[in-house]
Amino acid sequence: MHFDLTDLRLFAAVVEEGSITVGASRAGISLPSASARMKGMEEMLGTALLERHRRGVRPTPAGHALFRHSQLVLAQMERLRGDLREHARGGVRGHIRLISNTTALEEYLPDVLAGWLATNPGVDISLEERLSYEIAPAVAQGHADIGVLVSADSAGVEGLETFPFRIDRLVVIVPRGHALAGRRSIAFVDLLDEEFVGLVAGSALAEHLAWQSTRLGRSLKPRIRVRGLDTVCRMVEARVGIAVVPETAATRCRRTMALRTLRLTDTWAVRQLIVCVRRKEALPAHTRRLVEHLAGTAKTDA
């Protein structure tokens, strides 16, 4: 059995994308060459690796086994390159794929990553927002190197290594003079007759609040959806509506905006953010350093 790294990279990309065409493009291989390589791998093994369907491909049991092993081999090669890079100048830059929920991406990661990147000039980070429940499976399947998510939404985290990162408290913000401005706390259900300012549909926080209202048999009334928590706060100050935002954003914006903050009494309003990876010791050196940096800045006081 003689598979080279190009074979393994191609096969992993095809399985992850569910398409030979897209996988070949991602691996930088022409479609005819990719098809020939896939056929050659199956002939060499004497068994089918992919089930072909009209909408793409799925791995057979043998394909699943090869996919798992290809991930291990490719991760080890990336670690080897990273470790050797520690002893050489120049060369290929390190690259880390980091996915995160809304709060961590907007409120915590910018400052944490800025300092780390300043002292690691040979590393690039691809940062992407995802819904919390999507993050652990994406890391487990090799679509990302590091995930930051809410621990309560960590289905699929089994088998991953996790580290505490932050306590994220959600609060309500209202403009000064609002009927609720004199209250200190409130339950989410008591807000659902109000008009809301929200983040754009599809953002992690917007989906989380929509899910919580659905659980109560209600729905939010968004007057407008905007990008960025600072913009949400400015809209609330202008009396467009009220909003639920991370306490860190509310505290920052209250310094310059006429806002009042109410604590949410719902248990889901206080959330533990965690960092997850497949296996820290199997990561390239630069990725391990970032994981250790994120875990080292952990703040777990509610």
Burial 82-119 (b: 16+ CB within 10 A, else e): beebeeeeeeeebebbbbbbbbbbbbbbeebbeebeee
Whole-number pLDDT of residue 1: 57
Whole-number pLDDT of residue 265: 96
Whole-number pLDDT of residue 69: 85
Q: Which residues contact 112 (CB under 8 A, 6 or more apart)?
A: 293, 294, 297
Which alpha helices (H) appear in 49-179, and where do they start and end? 61-85, 102-103, 109-118, 132-140
Whole-number pLDDT of residue 134: 87
Residue in the block written with tokens 């990561």: 283
The total number of residues written for the chain in this structure: 302
CATH 3.40.190.10 fits 94-166+272-296, yes or no: yes
Whole-number pLDDT of residue 102: 87
Angle at 105 between CA 218 and CA 142, to 5 degrees: 100
Residue 66 backbone phi and psi in degrees, to 5: -65, -40
Q: Which pair of structure tokens corresponds to residue 97?
A: 């794929």
Whole-number pLDDT of residue 110: 93
Whole-number pLDDT of residue 291: 95
Task: Let me know: does 110 contact 138? Beta carbons within 8 Å.
Answer: no
Pick from 144, 89, 82: nearest CA to 278: 144
Successive 10-residue mean pLDDT values, the chain, 302 residues? 82 90 89 90 90 88 88 76 60 80 91 92 89 87 90 74 93 96 95 94 87 92 93 97 95 95 95 92 89 87 52
| Domain locations in the chain as residue ranges | 5-85, 94-166+272-296, 169-270
CATH 3.40.50.1440 fits 5-85, yes or no: no
Whole-number pLDDT of residue 203: 84
Task: Let me know: does 254 contact 172? Beta carbons within 8 Å.
Answer: no
Fill in the amino acid letter for 137: P
Whole-number pLDDT of residue 26: 86
Check for a shared fold between 5-85 and 94-166+272-296: no
Whole-number pLDDT of residue 226: 95
Query: DSSP assignment, residue 17?
Result: H
Query: DSSP assignment, residue 87?
Result: T
DSSP β-ladder status, 259-264 and 185-186: parallel
Residue in the block written with tokens 């609330």: 236
Task: Let me know: does 11 contact 66? Beta carbons within 8 Å.
Answer: yes
Angle at 76 between CA 280 and CA 113, to 5 degrees: 45
Angle at 131 between CA 76 and CA 21, to 5 degrees: 55
Fold classified for 169-270: D-Maltodextrin-Binding Protein; domain 2 (3.40.190)
Return d(Cα 33, Cα 23) in angstroms, integer: 12
Residue in the block written with tokens 């659980």: 215
User: pTM, whole model, 2 decimals?
Assistant: 0.65
Rounded to the nearest 10 degrees, the angle between the axes of helix 285-296 and helix 109-118 is 130
Whole-number pLDDT of residue 172: 97
